[in-house]
Every structure is written in structure tokens, then in C-alpha cells.
Structure 1
Amino acid sequence: MKLAVILAPYDSGHYQSGFGLGPEALITGGLVEALTLAGHDVDVADIGKVGGDQPREIATGFAVCREVAARVDAALEDGRFPVVLSGNCLTTVGAVAGEQADSIIWFDQHGDINTPETSVHGFLDGMALATVLGLCWEPIAHTIPGFREVDPARCLLVDARDLDDDERKLLDGLPVLRASCASAAEQAGRLQAAGAVRTHLHIDLDVIDPDILQVNRYTTPGGPGPEELGRIVCAIARSMPITGVTLSAYDPAFDPQGDVPPVAGHLLTDLLAALERI
């Protein structure tokens, strides 16, 4: 398969800092070699610095989304399947726009469905899925080329076990599908029943049980192990029209032994193999 691996190494507007170090760490940890050995034609590109000299969480975050959208669109024009390695989950808004995705499967220990009205911390990345669904930041989201909000009825949120109280109330009033990791493949079929034809797959690596593999400082107990996660995403890939993938939220400062990159490489190679069997 022809792949475009797009690096968006930002964390809260800061280039190559914190989570923003994760994309390059995945590359240096052997991700490209794993994909190449699996027979893929891999093109790797870093979006570089965007948004001006003064990093600002909101302005820079959406500038990153605009650049990612353009890179994803160009990759698809070149016949390449887009894989976005991002620091922040917000970057997925750009991937969705570039793919013209009409549905989304969101693996994350967090809901990321806060809005400015519900968030007690004001953390932009905690509003990432809400932005995809058109629940907040609408004017600036529409500056992203190709952005169209995804109908909440065509969203599957998987293993969101750490929710704020107001975030939970908001989510309870939406037609978003929710599932444990174990039931995610079964629930994914309901997206197609709701009209999904182009589905983006977002995998925040902190969905993984931190007792098995810790990927950042925000992890909470529970979640699937890497092997279970791999089985489930492969089952989904064999049954759904997946148009692109994002991996996010890896902070190498919390992985001193470098355990995460090989896991990410195995996850992606298995996922792509499942897609090729469709």
C-alpha cells in the first residue's frame, strides 16, 4: 500500500515539545522500517512550524489542522493512505477535513467532548471530538479546508472511561454511539446503518491500559492491552470504509525504555493488513 505518514509534532501550540515529541519518537523507534518491511511504500513528511513565531494554543492548534488537512488531501490525490502522527487530538479535525470523512471512530480514555461552556480546565485538546462534531469552535473550524462537521449519530466513542461531570451530561444528550473496546467492532456496524461511507479512525494511545503500557502523564486505570486493541481495530478495518488513521498523545518522557514505538508499529502494520484484505 502507498502510505503518507504525516507528522504534526505539536502540543498545545508548541512545536516539538511534550506530546509534540511523540511523532518523531515513533519514527526514530522504527515505525517506518516496520511499515516498509511489511511491503508498504512509505512517504514521510513533517508539517514543520506553522502559525507564526508566537505559539498560541488555539490559533496554532487550528493552523496545524489547516496544514494537516492540506497534506491529507494531497496524499489522497497521490493515491496514498494517510496516517497522521500527532501530539494533540485536535489535529484529527484536520485529518477528517482532508479526507472529507463523514463518520469517525474515536478510541480514547477521555471523551474529548467538552466545550468552552462545559470545560472546567479550558483545555483545548479536551474539546477535539466536540469540534469534529460541530459542537464548538465552529467559525475557526470552518477555516480548515474541506471541514464539515460529522453528525454525532455517525460517531463511535470507544472506552472513554475518564469523563468530566458536565462532559458526561453533554454526551448523554447526544446520539453518539459508545462502546467498550470489546464491543467496539459490533457497534461500528451501526455507523454504516446511519449512512457512514468515509470513516476516520482516531486512536489516542492512552486508551491502552497504563498498567501494561504508559504513553503519557494523563493515563487512568483500565482499558485494553495492546493486543486486544489491535484485534479490535483490525476487526473494524475489515468491516468499515476507513479513509485514514490518526495516532496521538504519545509523550516519550513517560516511556524511558522506548516500549511504545514497537507497539505502534505492530498496531499499524496489522491494521493496514486488515484494510488490504477488504
Structure 2
Amino acid sequence: MKLSIILAPYDSGLYHAGFGQGPDAIIAGGLVDELALRGHDVIVEDIGEVGDAQRREIATGFAVCRAVANKVDMARDDERFPIVLAGNCLTAAGAVAGDAADSIIWIDQHGDLNTPETSAYGFLDGMALATTLGLCWRPMTSAIPGFQAIDPSRCMLVDARDLDPDERRLLDTLPIIRAQWTDALDNVGKLKAAGAAQVHLHLDLDVHDPDVLQVNRYALPGGPNPEQLRQLVCGLAKSIPIVGITLSAYDPAFDAKGEVPPVVGQLLGDFLAAHARI
């Protein structure tokens, strides 16, 4: 399969800092070799430095989305499957635009469903899914090439175990499909019934059980181990048309033994093998 790995190494507006170090660490950990050994034709592209000179989180965050949307769109034009390695979850809004996705599966220990009106901290990445669903930052998303907000009925939120009270209240009012990693495959039918035809898969790596794999400072107890998550994404690849994938939120500073990159390589390799059989 022809693949385009797109690096968006930003964390809260900062280039190659914090989570922004994750994409390069995954590449350095052997991802390209792993995929090439499986027979894939792989190219790697970094979006480079974007945004304003002050590195303001909001301006730079959406500049990253615009750059990613363009890179993903070019990958699709070249008939390459796009894999986005991102620091921040907000980057998924750009990937969704480039994919022309009409649906999303969001696997994350957090809901990312805050808005500027409900966020207690003003953390932009805590609004990532809300942004992708068109619930906030609409003037900013309108500038992302190809962006169309995903209808909440075509969104599956998987394993969100750390939710703010306002996120819980919002979930009570929206038709988002809620699932745990244990029953997500059983809920794919609901996504199809809602009209899902082109699905973007967003995977925040901190969904892993931190007692087994620590990926950043925010991980809370619970969640799947690497093998369980691998089985889930492979099952999704066999069950529904996935047009692109984003992986985010890996901070190498919390992975002293370098355990995360090989896990990502195995997961993506097996995901792509399953995807090829759909």
C-alpha cells in the first residue's frame, strides 16, 4: 500500500516541544522500517514551522490544521493512505478536512468536548472533538481547506473515562455514540446506520492503560493494554471504511525505555494489513 506519514510536531503552539516531540520519536523508533518490511511504499513529510512568530496556541493550532489538511489532500491525490502523527488532538480537524471524512471514531481517555464557554482552563486541545463536530471555533475551522463539521450522530467516542461535568452534560444532549474499548466493535452498526461512509480514526495514545504503557503525564488508570487496542483498531479496519488515521499525544519524556514507538509500529502495521482486506 502507498502510505504518506505526515508529521505535525506541535504542542500548544510550540514546535518540537512536549507532545510535539512525539512524531519524530515514533519515526526514530523504526516506524518507516516496520512498514516498509511489510511491503508498504512509505513517504514521510513534516508540515514544518507554521503559525505566527509569537507561537500563540490558537493561531498556530489552526495553522497546523490548515497545513495538515493540505498534506492529507495531496496524499489522497497521490492515492496514498494518510497517517498523521500529531502532538495535539486538534490536528484531527485538519486531517478530517483533508480526508473528506463524513464520520469519526475518537479513541481517547478524554472527551475533548469542552468549548470556550465551558472550559475551566482554556486548553485548546480539550476542545478538539467539539471543534471537529462544529460546536466551537467555527470562524477558525472555516479557514481549513475542505473542512466540513462531522455530524455528532456519525461520531463514536471510545473509552472516554476522564470527563468534565460540562462534557457529561453535553454528551447527554448529543447523539454521539458512546462506547468502551470492550464494546466499540459492537457499536459500529450504529455508525453505519447513521450514514458513515468515510471514517477518520483518531487515536490519542493516552487511552492506553498507564500501568502497562505510559505515553504522557495525563494518563489515568484504566484503558486497554497495547494488545487489546491493537485488536480493536484491526477490528475497526475490517468493519468500516477508514480513510485516514491520526495518532496524537505521545510525550517521549514519559517513556524513558522507548516502549511506545514499537507499539505504534506494530499497531499501524497490523491495522493496515486488516484495512487492506476490507
Q: TM-score, normalised by structure 2?
A: 0.99
SS in 2 for 1:153: helix
**Structure 1 contact 119–167 (Cα < 8 Å) conserved:** no
**Structure 2 contact 154–194 (Cα < 8 Å) conserved:** yes
SS in 2 for 1:43: strand
Letter paired with 2:145: P
**Structure 2 contact 181–229 (Cα < 8 Å) conserved:** yes
CA distance in 2, matches of 1:3, 1:30: 15
After superposition, give the CA deviation of every residue in 1:2-30 in whole Å (9 maximum; x if it has no partner).
00000000000000000000000000011
Letter paired with 1:24: D
**Structure 1 contact 188–240 (Cα < 8 Å) conserved:** yes
Question: Is residue 227 from structure 1 mapped to residue 217 from structure 2 by the alignment?
Answer: no
What is aligned with 1:210? Answer: 210
SS in 1 for 2:90: helix
**Structure 2 contact 158–178 (Cα < 8 Å) conserved:** yes
Q: What does residue range 88-237 of structure 1 map to in structure 2 within 5 Å?
A: 88-237=88-237
SS in 2 for 1:168: helix
- Tell me by how many angstroms 1:189 deviates: 2.0
**Structure 1 contact 4–42 (Cα < 8 Å) conserved:** yes
What is aligned with 2:24? Answer: 24
**Structure 2 contact 57–124 (Cα < 8 Å) conserved:** yes
- Tell me by how many angstroms 1:171 deviates: 1.4
Letter paired with 1:220: L
CA distance in 1, matches of 2:53, 2:122: 23
SS in 2 for 1:238: helix
> Which consecutive segments of 4 or more residues in structure 1 shift more than 3 A?
none
Letter paired with 2:177: L
Q: How much identity, in percent, do the aligned residues show?
A: 68
- Tell me by how many angstroms 1:192 deviates: 1.0
Gaps (5+ residues) in structure 1?
none
What is aligned with 1:62? Answer: 62
Question: Is residue 46 from structure 1 mapped to residue 19 from structure 2 by the alignment?
Answer: no
**Structure 1 contact 189–240 (Cα < 8 Å) conserved:** no
SS in 2 for 1:111: coil
**Structure 1 contact 185–233 (Cα < 8 Å) conserved:** no
After superposition, give the CA deviation of every residue in 1:141-192 in whole Å (9 maximum; x if it has no partner).
1100000000000000000000011111111111000100010111122111
Q: TM-score, normalised by structure 1?
A: 0.99
**Structure 2 contact 52–59 (Cα < 8 Å) conserved:** no
CA distance in 2, matches of 1:17, 1:242: 30
- Tell me by how many angstroms 1:241 deviates: 0.7
